[in-house]
Amino acid sequence: MTLTFATDASNATPLFALTSDAYDDWLAHQPTPTQAWLKATGYSAGLGKVALVPGTEGEISIAIAGLGSEKSRARGRFALAASAKALPEGAYALQGDLPGMDLATEALGWLLAGYAFDRYASASGAKAQLVCPQGVDAARVEAIAAGEALTRDLINTPANDMGPQALEEATRSLATQHGAEINVITGDALLTANFPMIHAVGRAAAQAPRLIDMRWGDSGPKLTLVGKGVCFDTGGLNLKPGGSMGLMKKDMGGAATVLGLAHMIMALGLKLQLRVLIPAVENSVSADAFRPGDILTSRKGLTVEINNTDAEGRLVLADALDLATEDGADHIISMATLTGAARVAVGPDLSPFYTDDNAVAAALSQAAQSVSDPVWRLPFWEPYEPMIEPGIADLDNAPKGGFAGSITAALFLRRFADAGNYTHFDIYGWNPSAAPARTKGGTGMGARAILDALPKILPL
């Protein structure tokens, strides 16, 4: 599917997007037949409510998209997109500005309302197309929409069709599209190349574990994105109960999100050197599965006691992060569906992130608000460091007690990255119920905020 703006504006239906408060004043200035029609239908510009006003020949002369009250808008995102699916197929040209709303973000929401995952069954998103509003960078918005669609498609695809090999192929396709270089280390070659924890986590699966390494750009600051690519997580020998395993196709959501963000960066031609690292594995059960009580030696040389094989994401990320630090990156960002603790703390909408750099945190928080991609800073709380130090090894992959699980996981990862230029996102990657511009299922989190904040994070 292609999420793009309407190309022919000449026959587009005028679209008025009106808040509940502004509706009465707007109506008072309309022709008498329009007033009579809308009053007869009882229209009130509630959020997502659509009105179609007929012309003299029975055509649609104008359409109205209700933006609702300030309270209803504050309780959601993408208010304009709330009307997209209710409008008939055709092109629509927005009239005027959207008071107090970012026009580019609302236009993006409209494009995303057209998304549907249709690989296995017929499905369709909104058929109404929007003419790109004046002053909005159409190419940028379309690139962001395409990146988000890529992320959603990858997460929504089940593990039988999105294992480590398929994730590698998806990355190769993206590299080909943008002229990027790619290198993949697979199977026992991971041991030779010194990625022991990626190998340990993935060696029990039918498909060999691998480290996917994509590079793009030859000038500008260096940005490295590291995405957790656990294509399915059984929990390993600490087997998950069935109810907890049902959504584990999304455990490669970090990889899917960094690939979507990479598409945005490359499609927009940002002047930077991009590197994407994805440790792609399945955490499976077999005779050679790693065990509780094992002690693994990481690429960095730190030893890790395995107290729960279901805390595997941080293990594969650790080896990839250590590699990332060797390249002298100006900034490293990891994204992972890492902990249930993060969901308990902030729910499915917010993306918790960690950084030691207050300027980076401020840039991300400001960008998130601007582009309606909410994030929330959590602390690298150093008094919790002893919780990840078991004594028998340098680190514990699953501290007992259950407290501060997202924080201790972030502290674990920080041991393998340069703390001064590292940001970690503990995302969910899944929308549990449909909302405007956000279908139920796989979803990108934090990528648009990062993209918007990059000029403040890096010297672009």
Q: Point out the residues that are catalytic.
A: 240, 314
| Dihedral sign for Cα atoms in the order 161, 336, 360, 332 | negative
Q: What six digits make up the tokens of 211? A: 């480290």
Helix H or strand E encompassing 128: strand 128-130
Q: What are phi and psi of 458, to 5 degrees?
A: -120, 155
E strands along 134-272, which residues?
181-186, 210-216, 222-227, 229-233
Residue 137 and residue 131: Cα distance in Å, rounded? 12
Tell me which amino acid residue 393 is.
Answer: A
List 276's β-bridge partners, or say none. Answer: 214, 225
DSSP 3-state assignment of 368?
Answer: helix
**Cα angle value 327/166/272 (rounded, 5°):** 30
Q: Are 412 and 318 in contact (CB under 8 A)?
A: yes
Nearest to 49 by CA among 73, 1, 82, 97: 82
User: How long is the chain?
Assistant: 460
Residue 185 and residue 207: Cα distance in Å, rounded? 13
Helix H or strand E encompassing 32: helix 32-41
Cα Rg, the chain, nearest whole Å: 24
| Dihedral sign for Cα atoms in the order 9, 1, 438, 175 | negative
DSSP 3-state assignment of 396?
Answer: strand
